[in-house]
Chain A
Amino acid sequence: MAALTPETLPAPATVPEPGARPGRPRRFRAWRGVILFFAAVYFLVPLIASFAFTVKEPDQGFSLDAYGQIFSAEGFGRSILLSLGLGVATIALVLLLTLPAMLAVRLSVPKLRPVLEIVCTLPLVVPPITFVAGISRVLQWGPDYLATTPLYQTIISVQNPDFPIVLVLAYVVLALPFAYRALDAGLGAMDVRTLVEAARNLGASWPHLLFRVIVPNLRAALASAAFLTLALVLGEFTIAQLLSYQTFPVWIYTISDSQAQVSVAVSVFSLLITWLLLLGLSSAGARQRSGS
């Protein structure tokens, strides 16, 4: 039992097995196997069963029809395009708002940083359903109180069902905490002040500085903020449903009554989309780590 792991790990001549730690009792192995087995059952069975559900046919026994029907189903194209459009608009707006603010606070008013952090974390405290309760009440002001003012037109136009700007605004608020954390990590990993001062001393203008110096250095953090925002918007149900807009998740919900198989097929499909998005995210993060 005198096997000791040195505090500073020198590269050992013979690596035993990755992950194996000296001095660990053998009986832990069985315990681990049991846990991993039950976890595998719990997490894999619903995925496999969902897939089985979508390919089950009363007559032929197996058919991928449900997946074919996704694309021809009424409203699929419109709802996914709406969700993607909302995602792109949300990403653009959230980055345009947070990046300059975070740079400014880091460079010139560091005292405000904790304030900005708290303000950007606050949306996590407010459950989306309570947020939408407030929003829907504000939207009612349009017809109730503001009918004679120019604000009325604004309130009507943000609710345009073809592209509800009100959803973009709400999603920016929901995405703020994630975008803030991603960008804060990215900014913390580089020496912003030196870069800015060097660029300014060389005569770079602020837009030039932002797009040619800061943004390229922040590529991975920006990608991570964008991916998280996109995943959030593509999956958001609460706000869209309660404000009656047919985004992609709301569409899945509405077709479930008439086409159960298709709605489960879309659910499997949307899990795959999330999976791909997050794989893209983690590989972007890995590239950033190996690059720096």
Chain B
Amino acid sequence: MSAADTPLRTAAASRRGRTRSRTWLAAVPLLAFIALIFGVPLLVILGGTFSRGGTFSTANLTDSVHGAYLTALTGSVKLSALVAVLGAVLGTFLAQAVVTSRFRALREAILTASGVLSNFGGVPLAFAWIATLGNSGVITSALGLGDRGWSLYNFWGLALVYLYFSIPLMVVVVVPALDGLRPQWREAAQNNGAGAWQFWRYVGIPVLAPTLLGGVVLLFGGAFAAYATAKAMVGASVPLVTLQIDAALSGNVLIGHENVALALSLDMIVVAGLVMAVYLPLQRRSARWLR
């Protein structure tokens, strides 16, 4: 593609050059849009985090990792980690049950339902669970759980509800990988005398590992960023970083300390960024076996 040695190539090259100079422009609106609408708020978060009362200061960042804010951050991380690990394990078992099922209709139904339920978040999800296991929920009153001290509006209740979209998400993520486990590998292992445990220990799990870890990371990210469900379910009674940002943005913060909301946002972005930095390479690795 270097120097053109015939007139024909020269013409082609120059035409390509002209096309390039014009088509390149079509990418500009998108990049400009992202820079303005996405980049400016991010810069504002960064700038606001390091300013208090108009001067440079790390006080906001320090505040955001102390006291009630630290409790909220660790609460969010704990909840997300619990949901991610439980959701990944349960989702993988469910996916394996679906993949090995003999009934094609069942498989199709569960896969479609997983696609839908993994998107079923936000306010409607919270209300569905409040109607089921809330203080006046159908199951709560049917089983008399209220008298036995049951409450949905706490850490464990949130975990129960978050699993409702996390498990289906794990199923969606892991089914293609389980389908990619070739029967020949199992047969080869069995013919070499391996039992079911040994097959999973030495073949199945290592092949699936990137997908499983990627799923854990994805579930963690989803639970970590979730706000609507928690807001509709528990208000502010469970310490979560998203609810703390909401409180700080709504003015529930010391005068002059409004930028703590931005510092908390920066903390969240750092955590979410770390999560993505783990997820993307894992996703590439897992794609290798799934051709």
Contact = CB atoms under 8 A, between A and B. Distances in A.
Do A and B pair up? The answer is yes
Contacts of A238: 227-228
A128 B273 CA distance: 13
A43 B164 contact: yes
Contacts of A135: 41
B266 to A, nearest CB: 8
Interface string A122-158: 1111111111111111100000000000000000000
Nearest to B98: A36
Contact of A134 (B24, B102, B186, B265): B265
Main secondary structure of the interface of B (DSSP, over half): helix
Contact of A137 (B103, B115, B262): B262
A156 B83 CA distance: 41
Interface in B112-157: 112-113, 115-117, 119-125, 127-133, 136-139
B115 A133 contact: no
Contacts of A28: 100
Nearest to B261: A133
A159 B120 CA distance: 28
B167 to A, nearest CB: 8
A84 interface: no
Contacts of A18: 102, 104
Interface stretch (B1-9, B42-50, B66-74): B42-50
A101 interface: yes
Interface in A62-113: 97-98, 100-101, 103-105, 107-109, 112
B119 to A, nearest CB: 6
A174 B231 CA distance: 20
Given A43-B113, A137-B262, A274-B119, A127 B272 contact: yes
B37 A172 contact: yes
Contacts, number: 257
Interface string A35-70: 110010011011101101110100000000000000
Contacts of A260: 131, 136
Contact of B122 (A36, A123, A137, A249): A249
B254 interface: no
Given A47-B128, A52-B138, A129-B225, A5 B184 contact: yes
B97 interface: yes
B94 interface: yes
B23 A107 contact: yes
B269 A130 contact: yes
B41 A138 contact: yes
Contact of B115 (A31, A104, A256, A282): A282
13 contacts: A19-B100, A19-B107, A25-B196, A36-B97, A43-B113, A46-B129, A52-B138, A97-B30, A127-B224, A129-B265, A238-B227, A274-B119, A278-B119
Interface of A: 1-5, 7, 17-25, 28, 31-32, 35-36, 39, 42-43, 45-47, 49-50, 52-54, 56, 97-98, 100-101, 103-105, 107-109, 112, 116, 119-138, 169-170, 172-173, 176, 231, 235-238, 241-242, 249, 252-253, 256, 260, 263-264, 266-268, 270-271, 274-275, 278-279, 282
Given A235-B124, A271-B116, 8 more contacts: A5-B183, A19-B102, A20-B102, A39-B94, A46-B132, A100-B27, A120-B34, A133-B41
